[in-house]
Amino acid sequence: MSLTDGAARAALRRLFDAAVASAAPGPAVLRHLPDKPKGRCIVIGAGKASAAMAAGLDAAWPDVPLSGVVVTRYEHAVPAGRIEILEASHPVPDAMSETAARRILDTVTGLGPDDLVIALISGGGSALMVMPAEGMTMADKMALNSALLKSGATITEMNAVRKHLSRIKGGRLALAAAPARVVTLVISDVPGDDPAVIASGPTVPDATSLADVHEILNRYGIELSPAAEAALARGQETPKPGELVTDIRMIASPRQALAAAADAARELGITPLMLGDALEGEAKEIGTVMAGIARSAALYGQPVRRPAVLLSGGEGTVTIGKGKAGRGGRNTEFLLGLAVALAGEAGVYAVAGDSDGIDGTEDAAGAVITPDTLARGAAKGLDARAFLTGHDSYSYFDALGDLIITGPTLTNVNDIRAVLVI
C-alpha cells in the first residue's frame, strides 16, 4: 500500500481527530455517574474540559436538584443549565482564578452527610482555580507559575509545588466538603494518569511532601517571593493517603485516546505501534529519539510492517531558560526537532498536537511535518535549526502553512503524536 503526500496528511489528521473525539466529556461523564443522592447535589470543577463535563451532567440528571460552580479557560465555556460556568486564565492565573476558587470553596461549605459533591476535574485546573497560601498574594502565585513553566520541571513536579502553596489544592477542597460524599470525575492529561497530579488534585490525597518541594525548587533553581518562602517555612502539609477518603473515577485518559487513534489506523490499513502514553523529557529531544525509531522502520521494515504509525502521548517540556524565545509549544517544538533529525528522510510524516486544541499558549493545536518540510522551509529562507534554537517553532510551521488549528476542543487528554512511515 502506498500513500500520496495528500493521503498521508489526511490519514494523520484522521488519527488525531479520532483521538480527540474519543475523549468527548459529555459521553464520558454519562458512563461514570454515581448513585443519585438523598440530599443535595453540588457540582464543582476546574479545568479545560470542566464546562463540557458540567453540561453533560446537567443534561443527564434533570430530576435531581443540583447546583454548583465550575471554572474553565477563557473561550472554553458552554451552557451547563443549572451549573454556573466561570472563566479564568491559563496557563498563568489571573484575578478570576482566585475569584473562582473562593466561589467553589464557599459552595461546598456547610454540607451534610446526605449531600453529594461531584467534582469535575481536568487538565488546566491548577491555573484556573487558585487560592494562594496564607500570606501570599495573587502576584506571588502568578510569579511562581511563570517561573515553574519556564523551568523545565515536569507537570508532576510543578503541581507538587503548587499544592503546598495553596489553600484549595492537594486534597484540601475535599476536606472542606466533609461530611458530604465526594465523587471526583477526572479526565487525565498527565503521564501515568495519577489523579493527585491532575489540576493539582484538589479532592485527592497528596503523597508529596514539603521536602519534595524544596528539592524541586533547588534542582531547577526556582526563586520564590519572600511571601512564598514564608508560607513554605510554616510547614503546611497536604492531606495524605489514608487521611482522606474519596471516590475517584477516571473517565477519559491519554491511553484511551491513543487506542482510538490505533483503531482509526487499522481502518485505513495502517499498522499501529503503541510507544506509550507517558513519554516525557525535552520536546525536541523526544523528536530526535522518535526520528531514530522512524528511520529504523523506514530502512529495515522494523519494528512493524509498513505502512505503520508510531503512536505516543505524554507531555514534553520546553526549557526556555533566561534567553529570549519566539512562539511555539511543546508539540511544534517536538515536530521541528523531529524534522531536523530526520533530515528529509523519505516516506516519514508526522502530526503532533495538544488534544485541547492549544499548544502552549498559541492558537494552534500543533502541526504536521512531511519529508520536504526542511526543503520547503529553506526555499522560503527559513533555517529550521535556528528556529528550533530560538524556540520559534510556531512561526516556522505558520510560514509553511502546516499548523493544525482546531479551536478549543473542550477536552484535554494531553498530547497526541503520530509518526507515519510509508
Is the domain of 283 the same as that of 186? Answer: no
Query: What pLDDT, on a 0 to 100 scale, did the predictor assign at position 145?
Result: 84
> Above 80 in pLDDT, residue 116?
yes
Query: What pLDDT, on a 0 to 100 scale, did the predictor assign at position 260?
Result: 98
Given 205, 228, 252, the domain boundary residue is: 252
Given 252, 272, 301, the domain boundary residue is: 252
The pLDDT > 70 percentage for the chain reads: 98
- Residue 267's contacts (CB-CB under 8 Å, 6 or more residues apart) are none
Q: Which of 2-11, 93-102, 283-292, 329-338 has the lowest mean pLDDT?
A: 2-11
Given 252, 281, 309, the domain boundary residue is: 252
> Above 90 in pLDDT, residue 117?
yes
Is the domain of 195 the same as that of 62? Answer: yes
> Above 70 in pLDDT, residue 139?
yes
Query: What pLDDT, on a 0 to 100 scale, did the predictor assign at position 238?
Result: 95
- Residue 410's contacts (CB-CB under 8 Å, 6 or more residues apart) are 25, 48, 49, 51, 52, 76, 78, 356
Is the domain of 364 the same as that of 268? Answer: yes
Is the domain of 181 the same as that of 110? Answer: yes
Is the domain of 149 the same as that of 232? Answer: yes
Give the torsion sign (CA, 176, 177, 179, 182).
Answer: negative
Query: What pLDDT, on a 0 to 100 scale, did the predictor assign at position 2?
Result: 67
Mean pLDDT of 180-193: 93
> Above 80 in pLDDT, residue 302?
no
- Is the peptide bond preceding residue 91 cis, with omega within 30 degrees of 0? yes
The CB density around residue 6, as the number of other CB atoms within 10 Å, is 8
The pLDDT > 90 percentage for the chain reads: 83
Is the domain of 246 the same as that of 261? Answer: no
Q: What is the dihedral of CA 347, 352, 357, 358, to 10 degrees?
A: -130
Is the domain of 376 the same as that of 261? Answer: yes
Q: Using pLDDT thresholds of 50, 70 and 90, give the confidence band for residue 39.
A: very high
Confirm whether pTM is higher than 0.75: yes
Query: What pLDDT, on a 0 to 100 scale, did the predictor assign at position 142?
Result: 86
Is the domain of 232 the same as that of 263? Answer: no
Alpha carbon separation from 420 to 214, 265, 287, 369 (Å, rounded): 42, 10, 14, 10
Q: Which of 76-80, 92-96, 248-252 has the lowest mean pLDDT?
A: 92-96
Query: What pLDDT, on a 0 to 100 scale, did the predictor assign at position 353?
Result: 98
Task: Provide the CATH number for the domain around residue 352.
Answer: 3.40.1480.10
Is the domain of 30 the same as that of 108? Answer: yes
The answer to whether 55 touches 79, Cβ cutoff 8 Å, is: yes
Query: What pLDDT, on a 0 to 100 scale, did the predictor assign at position 304?
Result: 58
Query: What pLDDT, on a 0 to 100 scale, did the predictor assign at position 104?
Result: 98
Task: Provide the CATH number for the domain around residue 109.
Answer: 3.40.50.10180
Q: For the chain, what is the mean pLDDT? A: 94
> Above 90 in pLDDT, residue 172?
yes
Is the domain of 39 the same as that of 158? Answer: yes
Query: What pLDDT, on a 0 to 100 scale, did the predictor assign at position 301?
Result: 64
Is the domain of 239 the same as that of 178? Answer: yes
Domain encompassing residue 361: 5-21+255-421
Tally of structural domains, the chain? 2
322 grid coordinates: 533566561
Q: Using pLDDT thresholds of 50, 70 and 90, give the confidence band for residue 329.
A: very high
Is the domain of 10 the same as that of 115? Answer: no
